[in-house]
Structure 1
């Protein structure tokens, strides 16, 4: 773990800190609503209506009303429908808090999740990670994962991806190692972010280790993972390795060609880049604006640079 990276919050302290965010109005609402006998739950049609109201409130940014409706569902739903109803409601609200950039309300919702004992639910953990990551509260997002017992790679993928997006490369690679050490198998969504981090850090040794893990994983061949491998070796300057991987691809997309051409141009190998571009045209593959700009820039460079050399 990088020495500059903050320590994760112990589970007990993290939970107590979050619980402090539960508004008094919520607790009062539960008490005032307790006169409605739990033994007389409303029907499924009413629950559906309340769920619709939550989605409407959430989509319009009326989170206070949505939270009140959530408390009402918790109190009035029958035992057979309450779990699903509450999960759908919370899921919708978390998405709304993220999309509307409502951090205080999302923090309050997390407190409510803990109060309900749902902080480790496999549906909610990824959404909590997404919520905290979207505000760059990566320590909180990481603590959510640390305090869960989920063995699915999804929440880890979300956090690793956010680390890489924010150029926190050491943290991304640390999280990947932690994930693997916990016995969680990476998938085709894990590797592109990890390979990108290796390439940006120019960590050839670990990049090769990840490549070996991909080969040994027995997963089906994946275009996005293979594109990321080509890109990583290109950033390492190992253009020959990148080209070998490119030629072995059973299928390619426009990104595959962009990546390989960029590998050549980054090393000033314009001849190879032009030849590959000609092959791209012959195969009739769609040419992206990125490739056009790269090749156009190369043409200008190869034509103008000699004319700019000082006269002897």
Structure 2
């Protein structure tokens, strides 16, 4: 029999691998589980599959998932996220359906993960069905679920529904505002995007780099040069935000769209960012 400390120790190691996506450490830990004869333990198997999924190794994750007797909601969620991150959207939906058919109750993390798959697959009809299940399960007021619904409807081009979800939210955070701004920006509705951004500021929410990317993109795609340059200047001066490559890309595109090529060239020469 293994020492009683083995299971909690390896559980912590697998949690570390899952959180950091450290594949070499995961492979090492898996090997030790086999050597110590505890790789068959369902609790560790579940964490092992989840860790492989977080590292994008879906073949290994899927195999261990199928060997696991107690397939928890946590494990299903990890598999859905893993397949979605690898663009295996159909497989993500298969895992979601397996969860429902097994009689286990999906949670807010389940819905957030499967809605992300719906958004990236532009599967509006499936997204709507999931929204119905969310309502039945009584988690429609959850802020994580609400934010993901906004993104899903936005990416699928159903902006009225995205706005309805946004307006009906009991509580909003910066991600809520950013998701709504991004939904409008994605479809070239610059005025609507900037209106939401100004509503956000009036509500006392300070912008971050993510929402400013959406704001600048909205200005770019709508040809709103003056507004875009105004927000560009405010980024560092008023909000203390560091300009990143995606911000430069939006402003260069904005200037180029308006024929201000010399200004765009000078901006490119001034770019400062860490290489990938």
Distance in structure 2 (CA, Å) of the matches to 1:155 and 1:130: 6
Distance verdict in 2 for CA 1:296–1:138, change over 3 Å = closer
Gaps of 5+ in 2: 226-254, 260-276
After TM superposition, the score normalised by the length of structure 1 is: 0.65
Which residue number in structure 2 is paired with residue 172 of structure 1?
92
Comparing 220-229 with 288-297, which one deviates more in the overlay? 288-297
Find the residue that maps to 2:161 and give its secondary structure: helix
Distance verdict in 2 for CA 1:244–1:120, change over 3 Å = same
- 1:157 pairs, out of 69, 77, 89, with 77
Gaps of 5+ in 1: 1-72, 75-81
- 1:302 pairs, out of 208, 221, 224, with 224
Find the residue that maps to 1:190 and give its secondary structure: helix
Q: Deviations over 1:38-80 (max 9, x none)?
A: xxxxxxxxxxxxxxxxxxxxxxxxxxxxxxxxxxx83xxxxxx
Q: Deviations over 1:75-121 (max 9, x none)?
A: xxxxxxx44x22123324545677471455334234246x34x6243
RCO higher in structure (CA 8 A, sep ≥6): 1
Q: Deviations over 1:8-46 (max 9, x none)?
A: xxxxxxxxxxxxxxxxxxxxxxxxxxxxxxxxxxxxxxx
- 1:249 pairs, out of 157, 160, 169, with 169
Does the 8 Å CA contact 2:162/2:180 hold for their aligned counterparts? yes
Q: Cα distance, 1:168 vs. partner?
A: 1.9
Counterpart mapping for 1:18-167 below 5 A:
74=2, 82-83=3-4, 85-94=5-14, 99=22, 101-102=24-25, 104-112=27-35, 115-116=37-38, 119-122=40-43, 124-167=44-87
Find the residue that maps to 1:139 and give its secondary structure: helix
Which residue number in structure 2 is paired with residue 239 of structure 1?
159
Count of residues in Structure 1 that have an aligned counterpart in Structure 2: 225
* Bigger Rg over Cα: 1
After TM superposition, the score normalised by the length of structure 2 is: 0.72
Does the 8 Å CA contact 1:126/1:158 hold for their aligned counterparts? no
Distance verdict in 2 for CA 1:177–1:209, change over 3 Å = same
Find the residue that maps to 2:224 and give its secondary structure: helix
Q: Deviations over 1:134-189 (max 9, x none)?
A: 44331221222222222520111112112222222222111111121111211111
Which residue number in structure 2 is paired with residue 40 of structure 1?
none
